[in-house]
Chain A
Amino acid sequence: QVTLKESGPGMLQPSKTLSLTCSFSGFSLSTSGMVVSWIRQPSGKSLEWLAAIDWDGDKYYNPSLKSRLTVSKDTSNTQVFLKITSVDIADTATYYCARRVFPTYYFDYWGQGVMVTVSS
């Protein structure tokens, strides 16, 4: 059974660095063709793809946010991390991690999401 779960600070101040963790089970990120992505959704709005990391350790970023994003994974290939630097109120959103897998590479499993509020 594939499950993903996000965790994060809940609230942080503007200009700080947001650190998020996606813990997953039911698959390994070391398996060829496996990708874990981060997607966010401000309350009442649509979804924005942020970043991804694949089984080979290759990283992909949304150009609009690339300078502020860092995606990484742990050596056991059961967790993926996302750091967003210099957060602003506009970064307030629910953050999801989601799996993509060869050959379709669609977001087939999603975590429950973690809400992050940026406020002074």
Chain B
Amino acid sequence: DIQMTQSPASLSASLGETVTIECLASEDIYSNLAWYQQKPGKSPQLLIYYANSLNDGVPSRFSGSGSGTQYSLKINSLQSEDVSIYFCQQNYDSPYTFGAGTKLELK
């Protein structure tokens, strides 16, 4: 199975700040990577797919980048509604695997 290592595990930032979450795959996943946002008590929601494509309705302050084994999710101008847990997921090979998650809180 492809292992997805996500960092940091938790992150505290102020409103308006820019934050970056990293995801490292155990092998090349050729940009077949997604980012999901999960708010407390809710199901995950797709933010980014193919490493850098924004899903419909997702604010433009979210962006994804990376290639090979290294990927990142950037949130510009942090808003209160961005407080969530973020997961990366490789979509390259079955079984599809997820990172451990990054819990984003407001400072």
Tell me the A residues contacting B by CB distance below 8 Å.
45-49, 60, 62-64, 96, 104-108, 110-113
Contacts and interface: CB of A to CB of B under 8 A. Distances in A.
Given A104-B49, A106-B34, A108-B55, A46 B100 contact: yes
A112 B43 CA distance: 6
Contact of B50 (A63, A96, A104): A104
Report whether over half of chain A's contact residues are helix, strand or loop; otherwise say mixed. loop
Nearest 10 pairs between A and B by C-beta?
A110-B43, A62-B95, A47-B98, A106-B49, A49-B96, A46-B100, A106-B34, A46-B98, A108-B46, A113-B43
Interface of B: 1, 34, 36, 42-46, 49-50, 55, 87, 89, 91, 94-101
Nearest to B55: A108
A49 B44 contact: no
Contact of B87 (A47, A111, A113): A47
A87 B104 CA distance: 33
A113 B42 CA distance: 8
Contacts of A105: 91
A112 B44 CA distance: 9
A49 B43 contact: no
Contact of A47 (B42, B44, B46, B50): B44
14 contacts: A46-B87, A47-B98, A48-B98, A49-B95, A60-B94, A62-B95, A63-B95, A64-B1, A96-B44, A104-B50, A107-B44, A107-B89, A111-B43, A113-B43
A67 B56 CA distance: 37
A50 B45 CA distance: 18
Nearest to B101: A46
A112 B41 CA distance: 9
B97 to A, nearest CB: 7
Contact of A107 (B46, B94, B99, B101): B46
A66 to B, nearest CB: 10
B95 A64 contact: yes
Contacts of A46: 87, 98-101
A61 B104 CA distance: 32
Contacts of A107: 34, 36, 44, 46, 89
